[in-house]
Structure 1
C-alpha cells in the first residue's frame, strides 16, 4: 500500500477565480457582470433552467443579455458546441453566463476555448465544473478531456436557495459525482497536502449534506449549504490534479455508450473504491465515514437509499457491451494506484452491472 504520509516534491499552480457565496443572485449578478467587464452575455442553460433564470436573475441582468443557447446536450458533443459558438457570434457576446450543471458549464468552456470569452458561472447542482479548467468534449463517439486554464470561470456565484427544487434522486447522483472527483484526487499522482485536505473535507461535507437532505426531504437550508460546500471543495481539487481509472471508465460509458454522466459515476464509484482500497492508503482516512460499513458498501447503500440507480444494467448497459468498454478504457495508459489490466476493468464493470455491493 502506498504511504499517504510520505513527503513528496510538488509544484502547485493555484487557479484564480472570484467566489461569491450564499447570496441571492438577484442581489449580486448585475454588479458581478459589470465587474467582469461583460457588456453583452450569452446565456447557456437548459430550456427549463433558462426559464428559472428569467424568474430569479433580476431585470438589471436581463438588460445585459444578448441571447441564449439552450440546446445543451449531455457529454457535450461537437455539434452542440458548434451551435453555441454560432449563437455567441450572432449576438456579439463578449462574455458567457452559465446557469446550470456540468453539461452547460462544459459547453460554455468549449465555447470559451474557441472564442476566448470570459465565463460567469451560477451552478444549480453539484458537478463542481464551475471551478475547474478542464471540460469534456465528445467527438466521433469518443469523450475527451480538454484542459485549458483560460476557460476557468472568472466568477462563480453560489446561491444555495437555487437547490430547493432539485429532486433528491438528482441531488444524490450529482453529489456522488462530486465525491468521485475528490476520491480520485486522494490518490492521484499529483496529490499534495492541500488537495488531500480539500478532498477529505469535501467528501465529508457532501456525504453529511446528502444525509441531511434526505432526512429533511429536501427542506433543509443547512443541508443545501453543506452540499454546495462539498461540491465547491471537490471541484477545486479536480482543478489541481489529474483524473484516473474511475473517470476513464465513466467517460467511455458516457461518451461512447451514452450512459448518463452523474448516474454512471454514482453506480460505478463504490466498485472503483472497492478495487483500489487496499492499494491507496489515503482512502483509509475515510474508513469511518459509514459506521459499521466499508467505504465502498457505505457509498452504494447511501446512494441507493436516496433513490439513485442501483446498477449499470439499470442505466442501459448490456453484458455484450462490457468487453468493448473494458478494451476502450485501457487503449491509452491511465493512472491508478493498483495495476489494472483489461480483465480487471471487465470484472469491475461486471460487478457494477450486477450490483454486487448493493445486494449484500
Structure 2
C-alpha cells in the first residue's frame, strides 16, 4: 500500500456517539409523519419514551425480527410498512433488526435511522442481505445506508457477557479483513488498526471483570463503530464470504460463525501478508502471533 497514492470513498451519514444520545431520536423524527420502528419486544420501553415526546400515533412498532432476514419476513414487513404509510424506518436492535430495515429501504428507498443495541456494525454500511431457501444473497446499495446512527452506551450495557464477547469478535472480523483488503487505503487501514486495539483492550477487560462495565462497553462500542465504518469503505475477503455462506446455508448464529472462523482465516492468510502488515497486526493485538491472540480473546470470554 502506497500511503501517498490511494482512492477513498467518503460515505454520507451522521453519527451521534455517547451516553444519553438516544434522547436525540424524537428530534430526528420530528420531520417525518410516521416512523416504522423495527425491533424486538424488549425495545418497547424505548419506543414508549419516544412516544411521550411525539404523538404515539406517529410510531408503529414492527416486532418480528429473524436472523439472516428471510424473504418471507421482508414481504410481510413491506406490506405493513406500506399500509401504515410510513416515511422513515427506525432500526432499533442488533444486526437482524438493521438488516430488515435495509431490506425495506432497498425496496421503498425510505431513509433509515439506526440505533444499534449490539456491536454488529451493520448500521454503518451500505451492505444488505436477504435469505431464501436457495441461500443468502448480499449486495451493496447506498439506499440502505442509514442517514443517522445513534450509539448510546446505555443501550448496549445490559448485554450478557457471552453476547458482548461474540458481538465484539464479529466486529473484530470486519477490522481484520479491512487491514488486508485488496482495496485498502491509509485512512481505513489506520482506523482498522485503532479499532482492533480498542476491541482487544475491551475484550481483555471484559474477561478480567467478568461483566460488561460501562467503560469496557464504551471502548468496545467505539471499536465496533470503526469496524462498521471499515466494512463499508473496503471490500471484505475470504473470511466474510465463508461466514455468510455457512451462516446463511445452515442458519448458524452470525456472530458465533465469525468468532470461530477468524483465527483460522488469519492463520491461512498470515504467510501471504507483508512484513509491515504482520507487524501492525502484532502491535494492535499485542501478540507475536495474532491468530492465536484472537483465539485467546474468545476463549477468555467463554466464546466459541
**What's the TM-score bracket when you normalise by the shorter of the two chains?**
over 0.9
For the pair 1:44 / 2:65, whether they are aligned, the reply is no
Q: 1:14 aligns with which of 10, 13, 22?
A: 10
Deviation (angstroms), 1:219: 4.5
Q: 1:127 aligns with which of 103, 120, 125?
A: 120
Q: Distance in 2 between matches of 1:180 and 1:271?
A: 11
- List structure 1 runs of 4+ shifted beyond 4 angstroms: 55-58, 289-293
Corresponding position of 2:109: 116
Deviations 1:234-279 (A, max 9, x none): 1101111112110011011111111110010001000001100121
Deviations 1:68-106 (A, max 9, x none): 222211111111111111121121110011111111111
Q: Secondary structure at 1:239's aligned position in 2?
A: helix
Check the 8 A contact 1:29/1:61 in 2, yes or no. no
Structure number with larger C-alpha Rg: 1
Task: Say which is worse superposed, 62-71 or 176-185, in terms of deviation.
Answer: 62-71
Check the 8 A contact 1:42/1:93 in 2, yes or no. yes
Corresponding position of 1:102: 95
CA RMSD of aligned residues (A): 1.9
Q: 1:300 aligns with which of 273, 279, 295?
A: 295
Alignment of 1:233-248 (within 5 A): 233-248=226-241
Taking a change above 3 Å as real, the CA distance of residues 243 and 83 of structure 1, as seen in their structure-2 partners, is: same
Q: 1:75 aligns with which of 61, 65, 68?
A: 68
In the alignment, structure 1 segments of 5+ residues that lack a partner are: 310-360
TM-score, L = length of structure 1: 0.79
Corresponding position of 1:337: none
Taking a change above 3 Å as real, the CA distance of residues 277 and 30 of structure 1, as seen in their structure-2 partners, is: same
Q: 2:273 aligns with which of 277, 280, 285?
A: 280
Alignment of 1:1-360 (within 5 A): 4=1, 6-7=2-3, 9-25=5-21, 27-34=23-30, 37-48=31-42, 50-54=43-47, 57=50, 59-61=52-54, 63=56, 65-281=58-274, 282-291=277-286, 294-309=289-304
Check the 8 A contact 2:126/2:145 in 1, yes or no. yes
Equivalent residue pairs, number: 302
